[in-house]
Amino acid sequence: MITKAISFDRALLVLSLGLTLLLIGTPDSAANGKRLLEIPKGFAGVVAYGSLISLPSMEQTLGQKYEGPVHKVHLAGYERVWTCVRPFNSPQAASLGAMKIEAYLIQSAERIPVLGTAELNIYPKKGSRINGVLYLLTEEELRKTDQRERGYQRTDVTNKIEEFRFRGGRVYVYESPSESPQTPSKENGTYVLIKEFLDLVIGACDAQGKDFRREFDKSTRPCTYPIVSFKDITWDKSK
């Protein structure tokens, strides 16, 4: 029953978007050349700028096939950075009963603790812009995306999309309010960027085309954390 309801919502979305683009999808000089995009009732837009650019990754989050539109867009007033870190043993994880994770690297016979992983984030920056893709999600799909992006906050960027002006709904992006921790020492440990995660993001950009990938590289500040394969980390989980 739930699957049928979602499919019906998707059918309405496709029909609504088709009519919108046919009737009002041309540039509007009064809106600085932006096209009008209708967001049907019960839907919201989400701008993906990292791993969720990958359609398979988005579908894994939703637990079903995504059948809506995917628009390439630009988000004005932001820069993209590898500064969101997820500690393995955060107080929040401990309160939920998660197992304690001990991880480390061996470099030049030294054992270096791995404190957590680095992920992409965005920060407001005047005059900057980043590229990404825009999905239209149902309310249930949006809740699932919220669950995946815990630790990030959902921010309204409806008026910051360069290609479109919107009617009928809002557009959001996920950003982390936390700043980068101080640079760890070898004695205290380090955060790392998992190579397989980086490969997922880069592969998703490549799938969008050479120009998209080139713009992603240009609009993303280089990561300052070590890039390490998951296989090169020694893991130990204990309660």
* Two tokens, residue 68: 């809506």
Would you call 37 helix, strand, or coil by DSSP? strand
pLDDT in tens, 92-144: 766 767 788 899 998 888 889 999 999 999 999 999 999 999 999 999 999 99
**Which one-letter amino acid corresponds to residue 11?**
A
Instruction: Assess contact for 157 and 75: CB atoms under 8 A.
Output: yes
**DSSP letter string over 105-167?**
EEETTEEEEEEEEEEEEEEEEEEEEEEEEEEEEEHHHHHHHHHHTBTBEEEE-GGGBSSEEEE
Burial of 234 (0-12, 13-18, 19+ CB in 10 A): exposed
Determine which helix (DSSP H) or strand (DSSP E) holds 21, and give its type and residue range: helix 2-24
> In percent, how much of the chain has pLDDT > 90?
66
Report all structural domains of the chain as residue ranges with CATH numbers, in order of start: 2-238 (3.10.490.10)
Name the residue with higher pLDDT: 5 or 93.
Answer: 93
Region at 76 (left for phi over 0; alpha for psi -120 to 50; beta for the rest): beta
pLDDT in tens, 182-195: 455 455 788 999 99
Closest CA to 78 of 175, 5, 1, 143: 175
> In percent, how much of the chain has pLDDT > 70?
79
Determine which helix (DSSP H) or strand (DSSP E) holds 210, and give its type and residue range: helix 210-218
pLDDT in tens, 158-185: 999 999 999 999 999 999 986 554 455 4
Give 20's pLDDT tier (boundaries 50, 70, 90): very low
